[in-house]
Amino acid sequence: MSLPSLLRKLKLPVAAMLMAILFSACNAKTEESAGIKPEMYTDSLFAVMKADRTNYTKLIVKRLGPAGANVIKPDEHWEDLENGAPLPAQMFRAGAEGVTGLTDKFTYSLQSLWPVNKQNAPRTDLEKQGLQYIADNPGSNFYGEEKLGDVTYFTAVYPDVAVAEPCVNCHNNHKDSPKTDFKLGDVMGGVVIRVPL
Amino acid sequence: MLVKKKVFWIIWLLFTLMLSAYFLIPLIKQENQGMFLIGETTHGHHQIEMACDACHTKPFGGKEVLQDACVSCHAEELKAVSDSHPKSKFTDPRNADRVALLDARYCVTCHREHREEITHEMGLSLPEDYCFICHKDIAEDRPSHAGMAFDSCASAGCHNYHDNQALYEDFLIKHAGGEAIKAHSQRPTLNAFELLNAKKGYKALSIEDLLATEKTYDGDILQAWQASNHARSEVGCSDCHQQEQEPWNDHPAVATCESCHEFQAETFFLGKHGMRLNADLGNMTPAMAKVEMKADAAHKELSCTSCHDSHQPDLSKAATESCMGCHDSEHVRNFPSSPHALSTDVSCATCHMPREQKVEQGLKIFRVNHNQNMNLKPNEKMIRSVCMDCHSLEFSIDALADEKLLENNFSGKPEVHIRSVDMAIERDKSKSNKDSLYH
């Protein structure tokens, strides 16, 4: 077989191979640019938040507070006390406020269907839906998208569970708490994480 | 005809150059920039209005640039009072609908400068019922607030937008009751000098210890100095008058005092007395003030030594006499005949330059904050830092809300009653409050 006729015969298979290589390269590039899925991103963020929050509650508030060594005073108005320490929920919110000064890639907040401070009740439709979902389905997370202002967000809602006695004690006895029969392990609220898309 | 045309063009060119120079030279030299002011500056900034770049740090950038300027001066103060409405509250996307109505992420949304015709007390340039935008349903949570006008939220003794340290509900409950005038003042004693001197082990200097210099000392000054805290902390003449081998200076600048009295100088620069010096605009004078001043004091220049005689051991002159040497409002004129002046050791500085605790070198030190505007407005800022040292919370709230008492310098009892404490107590009783380890 002469070289020109061989080339003519191979033209189609070679073109097909080239197309396939090009397509797979494009595909690989598309996958690469998609990066980490929002759900995995917020799940990871929540894991860190939950670990820190649980540790603060158990290792600091419970251990050093009035139920333990009684050397610090975890109190809602901790700044007015010489040895005052923020309550776990306040510590969590302080973190959320700190993050706003560091990045605009995500925001988070602590909310509840039974908030001590009414400003921490869910506000957006998706927040209301998500908070209700995690209360009705203990152990499950909630994910969705919502448009707030001009921006569309991936919004994830995670259950905030009573991990230690101080959580239950404080909420059940607070005069502004709409629910006073929380038990250890109950879903008390939700952590809402938002990622602008 | 051609000559006429040439003359016209030359005149036009000269006129254009002169006009450009008229506007450009002040901009380049950054002085006499008054022609660029677009309106009357507020009482908080008029002292530095000729330092345009104090706020307009860049020619472009809009609100972000202005925000940075606001924050550079006011952030610490807002942090110190646990700002009730920090920016972070509004950067949360869940408040996007609120931000669309009132963009509280930026100071200038509520405090527009150079707009005197729309500016209220506290430099607020919004209609005074702005709380409605976010708190219109407050009566659902607080039935006691039903029917209250939204322009009355920030009335004296109720709420402030930024500083509610003496007005939040649990504070009102905790400090309810008590004698209007306490049997013993709880005003802190200034202890910085004693504590730091003891720690550093200074030995008092006497006149004999002064090194011989070519300067001829005034005998009276030497005697005064010998009795002063300066002599007791080993500060001699040259430490202030001849720093670092410089020629002798009869009138040391604020920077000289600042080299030892850092906190006092820092706070002085933040207040209306020192903010011009801080902006390199020269000393403030009573003639520039927007409040009533004595005509014969118009051209006094404000620095540390305009209030303090640094050679004298007695600091009390700076606490009242110096203030009254310039200020001339009805409140000031009534001070000498007020119960504070006649029956107590309360001075102008007691209220307007409060003593603040700082922990330094492991010591709890009380020092005077020299920013006399820090707790001046809104006047509820004074409640915790000053009033409650001697008075009950309720009495303090009522007194500060009584315009007549403010004018006559608290000669008499409050004739108005603000119900903040009553409302907090009533609400507390109506709730099934139980004891908790955590509140």
Is the CB of residue B389 less than 8 Å from the CB of residue B185?
yes
**Searching chain B, which residue's CA lies closest to the CA of residue A175?**
B433
Taking only the tens place, the pLDDT of each residue in A121-148 is 999 999 999 999 999 999 999 999 999 9
Residue A65, pLDDT score: 93
Measured between CA atoms, the residue of chain A closest to residue B384 is: A80
Torsion region of A128: left, alpha or beta (phi above 0 gives left; psi -120 to 50 gives alpha): alpha
Distance CA B177, CA B160 (A): 22
**3-state SS assignment for residue A6:** helix
Whether B431 and A175 lie within 8 Å, measured CB to CB: yes
Mean pLDDT of B324-343: 96
CB contact at 8 A, B261 and B196: no
The residue of chain B with its CA nearest to that of A168 is B436
Which member of B93, B431, B439 has the closest CB to residue A76? Answer: B439
Q: Which of A76, A151, A166 sits opposite B93 (nearest CB)?
A: A151
Closest CA to A110 of A91, A129, A125, A135: A91
Chain A residues close to B437, C-beta within 8 Å: 65-67, 166, 169-170
* Mean pLDDT of all residues belonging to chain B: 90
B365 CA to chain A: closest CA distance, Å?
A: 15
Contacts of A124 in chain B (CB under 8 A): 94
Instruction: Select from B88, B94, B97 the Cβ nearest to the Cβ of A127.
Output: B94
Beta bridge partners of A147: A152
Do residue A153 and residue B93 have CB atoms under 8 angstroms apart? Answer: yes
Q: Is the pLDDT of residue A26 over 50?
A: no
Cα dist from B354 to A154, B78, B376, B394, whole Å:
49, 17, 11, 20
Q: How far apart are CA A128 and CA A125, in angstroms?
A: 5
Q: What is the mean pLDDT of residues B339-343?
A: 95
Of residues B409 and B224, which shows the higher confidence score? B409
A187: pLDDT strictly greater than 80: yes
Count of positions (residues) in chain A? 197
What is the arithmetic mean of pLDDT over B191-210?
85
Residue of A nearest to B134 (CA): A119
pLDDT digits 0-9 by tens, B153-168? 988 789 999 999 999 9
Contact A192 B93 (CB under 8 A): no
Checking phi first, is residue B14 left (phi over 0); if not, alpha (psi -120 to 50) or beta?
Answer: alpha
CA distance B65 to B63: 5
Q: Which residue among A107, A127, A175 places its CB closest to the CB of B433?
A: A175
A80 interaction partners in chain B (CB closer than 8 Å) = 171
Q: How far apart are CA B82 and CA B166, in angstroms?
A: 11
Q: What is the DSSP letter of B293?
A: B
pLDDT at res. A31: 47
Phi, psi of A186, rounded to the nearest 5 degrees: -70, 150
Of B106, B117, B7, nearest to B63 by C-alpha is B106
Give the chain B residue nearest A124 (alpha carbons).
Answer: B94
The residues of A whose Cβ lies within 8 A of any Cβ of B are 61, 65-67, 74-77, 79-80, 87, 96-97, 100-101, 104, 107, 109, 118, 123-124, 127, 148-149, 151, 153, 166, 169-170, 172-176, 192, 194, 196
The residue of chain A nearest to residue B427, with distances taken between CA atoms, is A175
Q: Is B277 exposed, middle or buried (0-12, 13-18, 19+ CB in 10 A)?
A: buried
pLDDT mean over A94-119 = 94
Tens digits of residue pLDDT in B296-329 = 999 999 999 999 988 887 788 899 999 999 999 9
Find out whether B105 and B28 touch, Cβ atoms under 8 Å. Answer: no
Mean pLDDT of A12-21: 58
In the structure, what pLDDT confidence band is assigned to residue B8 with cuts at 50, 70 and 90?
very high
Which positions in chain A touch B433 (Cβ < 8 Å)? 173, 175
Is residue B149 within 8 A of residue B129, CB to CB? The reply is yes
What A70-74 contacts at long range (C-beta under 8 Å, 24+ apart), as own/partner pairs, is A74/A166, A74/B438
Q: What is the pLDDT of residues B258-303, one digit of tens each?
A: 999 999 999 999 999 999 999 999 999 999 999 999 999 999 999 9
Mutate to test the interface with B, among A173, A180, A181, A192 (most CBs of B within 10 A): A173
Could you tell me which chain A residue has the CA closest to the CA of B101?
A149
- Please state the rounded mean pLDDT for residues B226-247: 86
- Dump pLDDT digits (tens) for B375-386: 999 999 999 999
Contact check, Cβ <8 Å, A173/B439: yes
Does residue B2 surpass a pLDDT of 80? no
User: Count H helices, E strands: chain A?
Assistant: 6, 6
pLDDT at A193 over 70: yes
User: How far, in Å, CA of A189 to CA of A116, rounded?
Assistant: 11
Name which of A74, A127, A196 is nearest B438 (Cβ-Cβ): A74
CB nearest to B437's CB, from A67, A79, A151: A67
Determine the pLDDT at residue A107.
Answer: 96
Of B88, B94, B438, the CB nearest to A97: B88
CA distance B91 to chain A (A): 7
3-state SS class at A96: helix
Q: Which residue of A has its CA nearest to B142?
A: A118
Select the residue of A166, A175, A194 nearest B438 (Cβ to Cβ): A166
Q: Measure Cα distances from B215 to A12, B228, B237, B436 in Å.
A: 105, 20, 10, 70
Does the pLDDT value for residue A166 go beyond 80? yes
Strand partners, B232: none
Looking at the complex, report in whole angstroms how far the Cα of residue B434 sits from the nearest Cα belonging to chain A: 5
Interface with chain B: mutation pick from A83, A91, A92, A100, highest number of B CBs within 10 Å:
A100
DSSP letter string, A120-146: GS--SHHHHHHHHHHHHSTT--EEEEE
Tokens of B262: 């850092």
pLDDT digits (tens, 9 = 90+) for B93-112: 999 999 999 999 999 999 99
* Mean pLDDT within A75-98: 93
**What is the value of pTM for the model shown?**
0.86
